């Protein structure tokens, strides 16, 4: 969060990206500072990972727990570290490159058993790949305008789709353009929503105490999944739909 504040001016809500680029560039001084932070982080994290991966108590507690195998990953459309821990080798950054990812070198980390332990191993090891990616970006960052000025009017009624590899997995955005260069409709499918579909099968016939670590192993963000908000374009009224209301809607329109 300290590094994020150095780069963007905010510790949590960054607001850095804009259509056509970013709001501000990295200074040479900040690049030097970031490299020092990465060196320190890499050394400290290696010590942690080496200790965790050799810890027999953690292995005994997590191996064979909360299994999401290849068949469940493909049946439920599970994404990110959950899928890669089951040996499903997918990553939007490599499979559907965006930004500068097609110019970077990194490994897609996978495991085979699909349990809590495998997800732990994948997540822990991915940190080193993230550090490698950041270093390459700092080395290869081009000079020039940091934002592109858009002067053309965006036609209404256009559809836009985009998927990015977020820390929890694929984050998919869908937009319909509206008038005055504004979106008419926007929908996000966060990776937590997708990975939650596998939880019932992952905890089936497990001990109750295993449910919490299984759920925690997908790193859920419930704010991404717990509500639907709509805006009436005519009245401008905002409505938040409850889970029960959404359930009734699906039953009504599903008949």
SS3 251: helix
The answer to whether residues 195 and 66 touch, using CB atoms and an 8 Å cutoff, is no
pLDDT of 217: 96
**What distance, in Å, lies between the first and last C-alpha atoms of the chain?**
48
**CA 21 to CA 240: how far, in whole Å?**
33
Contact 105/94 with Cβ under 8 angstroms? no
Tokens of 99: 């930004």
Q: Running along the chain, 255 residues long, what does each successive block of 10 average in pLDDT?
A: 87 82 87 95 97 96 97 96 97 94 97 97 97 95 78 90 95 93 90 94 93 95 76 86 80 66
Entry pTM: 0.84
Contact 128, 117 (CB under 8 A): no
CA gap 95, 153 in Å, rounded: 31
No. of helices (H) and no. of strands (E), the chain: 11, 7
Among 14, 6, 22, smallest CA distance to 145 is for 22
Task: At 21, list the tokens.
Answer: 């680029």
- Which residue ranges form the domains of the chain, and what is each CATH number? 2-224 (1.10.645.10), 227-255 (no CATH)
Would you state the pLDDT for residue 163?
Answer: 95
pLDDT at 253 (0 to 100): 64
pLDDT of residue 226: 67
CA dist list (Å): 207 to 37, 73, 210, 211, 230:
41, 22, 5, 7, 39
Tell me, what's the pLDDT at 254?
55
Strands of 93-252, DSSP E: 159-166, 169-177, 183-189, 228-231, 238-241
pLDDT of residue 147: 77
């Amino acid at each position: 969060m300290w590094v994020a504040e150095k780069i963007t001016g905010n510790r949590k809500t960054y607001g850095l990206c804009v259509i056509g680029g970013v709001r501000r560039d990295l200074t040479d001084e900040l690049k030097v500072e970031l490299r020092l932070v990465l060196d320190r982080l890499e050394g400290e994290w290696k010590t942690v990972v080496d200790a965790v991966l050799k810890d027999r108590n953690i292995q005994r507690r997590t191996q064979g727990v909360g299994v999401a195998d290849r068949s469940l990953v493909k049946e439920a459309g599970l994404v990110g570290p959950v899928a890669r821990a089951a040996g499903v080798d997918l990553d939007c950054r490599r499979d559907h490159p965006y930004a500068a990812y097609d110019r970077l070198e990194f490994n897609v980390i996978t495991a085979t058993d699909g349990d809590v332990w495998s997800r732990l191993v994948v997540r822990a090891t991915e940190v080193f790949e993230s550090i490698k990616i950041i270093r390459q970006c700092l080395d290869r960052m081009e000079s020039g305008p940091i934002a592109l000025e858009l002067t053309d009017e965006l036609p209404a009624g256009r559809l836009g789709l985009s998927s990015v590899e977020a820390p929890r997995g694929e984050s998919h955005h869908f937009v319909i353009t509206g008038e005055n260069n504004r979106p008419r409709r926007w929908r996000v499918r966060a990776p937590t929503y997708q990975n939650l579909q596998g939880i019932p099968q992952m905890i089936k016939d497990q001990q109750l105490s295993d449910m919490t670590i299984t759920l925690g192993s997908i790193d859920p963000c419930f704010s991404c999944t717990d509500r639907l908000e709509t805006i009436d374009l005519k009245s401008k009224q905002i409505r938040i739909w409850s889970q029960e209301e959404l359930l009734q809607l699906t039953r009504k329109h599903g008949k």
